[in-house]
Amino acid sequence: MLKLEPRPEASKAMSFLSPVLALAITVILGAALFMLLGKDPVRGLQMFFVEPLKSAYSLSELAMKATPLLLIALGLAVCFRSNVWNIGAEGQFILGAIAAGGVAMLADKETSRWIVLAILAAGVLGGMLWAALVALLRDRFNASEILVSLMLVYVAEMVLSYLVYGPWKDPAGFNFPQSVSFAEATKIPKLLSGLRVNIGVFIALAAVAVFWIFLFRSYAGFQLQVGGLAPAAAKYAGFSSRKALWTALLISGGMAGLAGALEVAGPLGQLTPHVPAGYGFAAIIVAFVGRLHPVGIVFSAVLMSMFYIGGELAQSRLGLPKSLTGVFQGLLLFSLLACDTLVQYRVRWQSARVKVTPQPSASSVESQA
């Protein structure tokens, strides 16, 4: 029998190298998957790890994909470090996009470019509002934030569908479920002409610095983590676990809402049923691959965005389904979980022992008789 036995002390070096090893395992399993599908594994892996880095356009698209993943994962890292399991960042992303789109549709040709700030603020507030519902139900009724946040994702999708099929539907849109195209003044400023990358990249990088200071160099961040991880110790020290719950969820929701605002007022330019792109769920993997550290999350967000672009390229050039993106994401997650398990535990072979009940001898039977 194989048995997992806790290690006396986990290796710190292996804890840091675990994501690298998980990526290597993902590459090996990915190559095997391409071979099973009858495709050249070298060509297939090239779609995921080489093509997204080959040109300025590819790098700009990589940055566009990485920006929402980075923003959402930063907020989730705060939640997870506080022992608050927000699984519904996708719903908060959608509500942020809806709120930002509502403000963007108020603009016209004479509107100032400063409306972009109002759009981003609306996105943050929309995401915070959706996360506040989770915090309220957890705080007042002790409802599981995992289930509540996850179920609210589907509610958010239905709200979006109602708006783009109903009151916000473009009357000149040939009956397509979409809002009007936003005015030029509402668009997120681009960094380079001819490329889609915009100032959202700088916002995300600035957020990395802010979150690093907040988590590791501020008393408020220390309170937040203690309040979530050790409520009894936090109460003894005068910290509030309730405050930790609300703060973590509002920060996470606000970051997801900001990502939604940047997406809808950036590359999309209007509200459609396709606003949900799965960033909220993929950001969970990004947060854990990045070890819940702001700097590590930067690299994991870039890696995950390579999976998104690689999946699209594999679909168009190799004729493979786009769902291959999710397969690679899942392989990376399970490989990381396996590596982390082996860092904390070691596998022992334990021989199965068969318990044999001794049979009474003939002399003992005669004496009892």
pLDDT tens digits, one per residue of 242-258: 888 999 999 999 999 99
Residue 92 sits in the same domain as residue 4:
no
Place of tokens 């672009």: 309
**Tokens, residue 39:** 């495709």
Do 17 and 126 reside in the same domain of the chain? no
Please report whether residue 316 resides in a domain. Answer: no
- Residues 131, 272, single domain; the answer is yes
Q: Is 151 exposed, middle or buried (0-12, 13-18, 19+ CB in 10 A)?
A: middle
Q: Is 49 a member of any domain?
A: no
**Does an H or E element contain 2, and which?**
strand 2-6
Same domain, 12 and 149: no
Distance CA 71, CA 88 (A): 14
Q: Which residue has the tokens 């937040």?
A: 224
pLDDT value at residue 1: 75
Residue 360, domain member (yes or no): no
Query: What's residue 293's pLDDT?
Result: 94
Write down the pLDDT at residue 197: 93
- Does the pTM surpass 0.85? The reply is yes
How many beta carbons lie within 10 A of that of residue 167, not counting itself? 8
Distance (Å, rounded) from C-alpha 62 to C-alpha 140? 42
Per-residue pLDDT tens over the stretch 150-176: 999 999 999 999 999 999 999 998 999
Total domain count, the chain: 2
Please indicate, yes or no, whether residues 167 and 245 belong to a single structural domain of this protein: yes
Distance CA 331, CA 22 (A): 9
Say if residue 365's pLDDT is above 70: no
Instruction: Kindly tell me the burial class for residue 59, based on how many C-beta atoms sit within 10 Å of its own C-beta (0-12, 13-18, 19 or more).
Output: middle
156 and 79 share one domain: yes
Residue 357 pLDDT: 60
Residue ranges of E strands in 305-349: 345-349
- Let me know if residue 315 belongs to a domain: no
346 token code pair: 């070691």
Sign of CA dihedral 122, 126, 129, 135: negative
- Percent of the chain past pLDDT 90, that is, above it, reads 76
Which one is predicted more confidently, 240 or 324? 324
Distance CA 181, CA 269 (A): 6
CB atoms within 10 A of CB 113: 12
Residues 169 and 249 in one domain: yes
Same domain, 262 and 143: yes
What is the pLDDT, as a whole number, of residue 264? 96
- Tell me: do 20 and 101 sit in the same domain: no
Indicate the pLDDT class of residue 353, thresholds 50, 70 and 90.
Answer: low
254 part of a folded domain: yes
pLDDT, mean over the chain: 91
148 within some domain? yes
Among 116-125, 240-249, 301-310, 343-352, which stretch is predicted with the lowest mean pLDDT? 343-352
| 71 and 7 within one domain | no
* Cβ-based neighbours of 332, under 8 Å, separated by 6 or more: 22, 23, 26, 285, 289, 303, 307
Residue-number span of the structural domain to which 344 is assigned? 1-25+322-350
pLDDT in tens, 94-129: 999 999 999 999 998 889 999 999 999 999 999 999
Q: Quote the pLDDT of residue 241.
A: 81
Q: Are residues 12 and 82 in the same domain?
A: no
Whether residues 284 and 237 fall in one domain: yes
Tokens of 125: 């507030």
- In this model, does residue 367 exceed pLDDT 60? no
Q: Is 166 helix (H, G, I), strand (E, B) or coil?
A: coil
